Amino acid sequence: MRVLVVEDELAMADSIRRGLEAEGMAVDVAHDGETGLWMARENSYDVILLDIMLPKINGYVVCKTLRDEENWTPVLMLTAKQGEFDEAEGLDTGADDYVTKPFSFVVLLARLRALVRRKVAERPTVLTIGDLVLDPASREVARGDVPIDVTAREFSILEHLMRRPGEVVSKTAILDAVWDLNFDGDTNIVEVYVSSLRKKIDAPFGRKSIQTVRGAGYRLNPGPG
Ligand code: CA
């Protein structure tokens, strides 16, 4: 297994490198984002450990750039402190998982191996319903040729619906799928986001693709409408 570690704290980078090498992995280290990006482009890695706050180019931008270039190497973000890493934003840049420092090496190794097992490097299938297109890999949405800007949560809700065309999906099911387990708000929040989604993917195009099923939830019209 070949791993790229992009981390500017030298002691931290060195300790990760030694730990991974002790597990029999081949490890390359970069100490800034620019070098890390260059190495990720030039070599083929099974996984990239990517710090966020880096000299020259930060980790978010490194990850987003790789994904924009259709490089799907699994990325595990390393975040310095609680709150530095915005989960929605980080995963929106195409990162696959993250760990918060200080982490135990055992945890890091487990997350890294899980990522490689998941083979997230394979590009996920683009979802298409009529002329509505959602690309889970690049996180892009479009209606025909028109790109649509959606937030990370709107994207997740739309993806959830597009994976179940024609099915009635309850607000609770959406809440469970899109919000984390600690969220204890009520399902009205789902209505707010669905309403906002409709203003982006339907209204400007004269469509009504997200239908309300009274008392049950929502259904994405599987037809061209
Ligand atoms: Ca750093």
pTM above 0.75, yes or no: no
Distances (CA, A) of 112 to 94, 108, 182, 221, 224: 16, 6, 25, 39, 41
Question: In 10 A of CB 104, how many CB atoms?
Answer: 9
Rounded to whole angstroms, how far apart are CA atoms 186 and 171? 9
| CATH 3.40.50.2300, the chain: domain bounds | 2-117
pLDDT of residue 124 exceeding 70: no
For 174-185, write each residue's pLDDT tens digit. Answer: 887 777 655 667
CATH 3.40.50.2300 describes domain 2-117: yes
- Residue 118 Cα to ligand 1 midpoint, Å, equals 27
For 188-220, write each residue's pLDDT tens digit. Answer: 889 999 999 999 999 999 999 999 999 889 999
Q: Which helix (H) or strand (E) holds 3?
A: strand 2-6
171-178 and 152-162 are packed helices; what angle lies between their axes, rounded to 10 degrees?
A: 120
What is the average pLDDT value for the chain, to the nearest integer?
87
- Residue 139 Cα to ligand 1 midpoint, Å, equals 26
Ion ligand 1: residues, Cβ under 5 Å: 8, 51, 53
CATH class of the domain defined by 127-220 = mainly alpha
- Residue 80 Cα to ligand 1 midpoint, Å, equals 7
pLDDT value of position 98: 85
| CATH 1.10.10.10, the chain: domain bounds | 127-220
224 compared with 62, residue with greater pLDDT? 62
For 128-145, write each residue's pLDDT tens digit. Answer: 999 999 988 788 999 999
